[in-house]
Amino acid sequence: MDPAVTARLRVCVELMPKPCGIVVFGASGDLAGRKLLPSLFNLWVRKLIPRSFFVLGCARTAMTTAEFRERVRAAIARRCEARPDECEAFARRCAYLAGDYFDAALYATLAQRLAASAAEFGAEGGAVFYLAVPPALYGPVVGRLSAAGLLRQGEGGEPWRRVVIEKPFGRDLASAAALGREIRRVLGEDQIYRIDHYLGKETVQNILMLRFANAVFEPLWNRRYVDHVQITAAESIGLEHRAGYFEEAGLLRDMFQNHLFMMLALTALEPPVSFAADSVRDEIVKVLRAVRPFTAEDLRGALVRGQYAAGEVGGKAVPAYRAEKGVAPESRTETYVAAKLGIDNWRWKGVPFYLRAGKRLPRRVSEIAIAFKSVPHSIFIPLLPEHLSPNVLVLNVQPDEGVALTIQAKQPGAKLCVGDLTMRFNYREVFGGEPPDAYERLLLDCMLGDQTLFLRQDAIEVSWSLLDPVLDAWSRGGEEERAGALHSYRAGTWGPEEAEALLGRDGRQWREP
- Give yes or no for a contact between 422 and 429, defined as CB atoms under 8 angstroms apart: no
To the query of whether residue 259 is one of the catalytic residues in this protein, the response is yes
- DSSP run (H or E) holding 84: helix 84-91
Instruction: Kindly report the number of other CB atoms within 10 A of residue 23's CB atom.
Output: 23
| Of residues 477, 234, 464, the one with CA closest to residue 369 | 234
**Is 50 exceeded by the pLDDT of residue 5?**
no
Share of the chain above pLDDT 70, in %: 91
107 SS3 class:
helix
Question: Of residues 228, 241, 259, 487, which has the active-site annotation?
Answer: 259
The answer for residues whose C-beta is within 8 angstroms of residue 371's C-beta and 6 or more apart is: 226, 227, 228, 229, 230, 390, 391, 392, 508
The pLDDT, as a whole number, for residue 414 is 62
**Is 60 exceeded by the pLDDT of residue 478?**
no
Omega of the bond leading into 159 within 30 degrees of 0 (cis): yes
Please write the tens of the pLDDT for every residue from 407-465.
777 667 666 666 677 788 887 777 666 677 889 999 999 999 999 989 999 999 999 99
The pLDDT, as a whole number, for residue 167 is 86
133 SS3 class:
coil
322 or 245, greater pLDDT: 322
Domain 14-166 class in CATH: alpha beta
The pLDDT, as a whole number, for residue 330 is 92
The answer for residues whose C-beta is within 8 angstroms of residue 35's C-beta and 6 or more apart is: 197, 437, 439
Q: Alpha-carbon torsion 439, 234, 339, 206, what sign?
A: positive
Determine the longest span between alpha carbons in the chain, in angstroms.
82
Q: Give the integer Cα–Cα distance in Å for 121 and 117.
A: 6
Q: Give the integer Cα–Cα distance in Å for 343 and 491.
A: 32
Q: Which CATH number fits domain 200-369+456-504: 3.90.1010.10, 3.40.50.300, 3.90.76.10, 3.30.360.10?
A: 3.30.360.10
User: b or e along 262-273 (b: 16 or more beta carbons within 10 Å of the residue's beta carbon)?
Assistant: bbbbbbbbeebe
The pLDDT, as a whole number, for residue 95 is 96
DSSP conformation class of 151? T
Q: Give the integer Cα–Cα distance in Å for 200 and 79.
A: 18
| Local confidence band at 11 (pLDDT 50, 70, 90 cut-offs) | low
The pLDDT, as a whole number, for residue 477 is 65
Instruction: For 445-493, give the DSSP string.
Output: HHHHT--TTSB-HHHHHHHHHHHHHHHHHHHH-GGGTTTT-EEEEETTS
> Parallel, antiparallel, or unpaired for β 20-25 and 303-309?
unpaired
**Is 60 exceeded by the pLDDT of residue 3?**
no
Q: What mean pLDDT do residues 288-302 have?
A: 87
Q: Give the integer Cα–Cα distance in Å for 495 and 305.
A: 9
Is the pTM above the cut of 0.85?
A: yes
**Is 90 exceeded by the pLDDT of residue 63?**
yes
The pLDDT, as a whole number, for residue 479 is 46
3 or 190, greater pLDDT: 190
The pLDDT, as a whole number, for residue 385 is 67
CA distances from 382 to 377, 403, 420, 505 (A): 12, 33, 18, 28
Q: What mean pLDDT do residues 270-298 have?
A: 91
Q: Give the integer Cα–Cα distance in Å for 164 and 216.
A: 37
Angle among Cα 26, 437, 240 to the nearest 5 degrees reads 55
Q: Where are the beta strands (DSSP E) in 78-205?
A: 94-98, 126-131, 160-166, 192-195
Q: Give the integer Cα–Cα distance in Å for 204 and 366.
A: 10
Q: Give the integer Cα–Cα distance in Å for 109 and 171.
A: 33
CA distances from 365 to 266, 349, 371, 397, 399 (A): 18, 28, 18, 8, 6
List, by residue range, all CATH 3.30.360.10 domains of the chain. Answer: 200-369+456-504
Q: What mean pLDDT do residues 74-90 have?
A: 88
Q: Give the integer Cα–Cα distance in Å for 482 and 486.
A: 9
- Give yes or no for a contact between 260 and 233, defined as CB atoms under 8 angstroms apart: yes
**Is 60 exceeded by the pLDDT of residue 26?**
yes
Instruction: For 253-311, give the DSSP string.
Output: IIIIIIIIHHHHHHHHPPPPSSSSHHHHHHHHHHHHHHBPPPPHHHHHHTEEEEEEESE
DSSP conformation class of 39? H
The pLDDT, as a whole number, for residue 139 is 94
Backbone angles phi, psi at 188, to 5 degrees: -80, 155
The pLDDT, as a whole number, for residue 480 is 47
- The overall average pLDDT reported for the chain is 89
Please write the tens of the pLDDT for every residue from 203-244.
787 888 888 988 999 999 999 999 999 999 999 999 888 888
Identity at 159, one-letter amino acid code: P
| Local confidence band at 125 (pLDDT 50, 70, 90 cut-offs) | confident
Please write the tens of the pLDDT for every residue from 128-159.
999 999 999 999 999 999 999 999 987 777 78
List, by residue range, all CATH 3.40.50.720 domains of the chain. Answer: 14-166
The answer for residues whose C-beta is within 8 angstroms of residue 457's C-beta and 6 or more apart is: 180, 184, 189, 192, 194
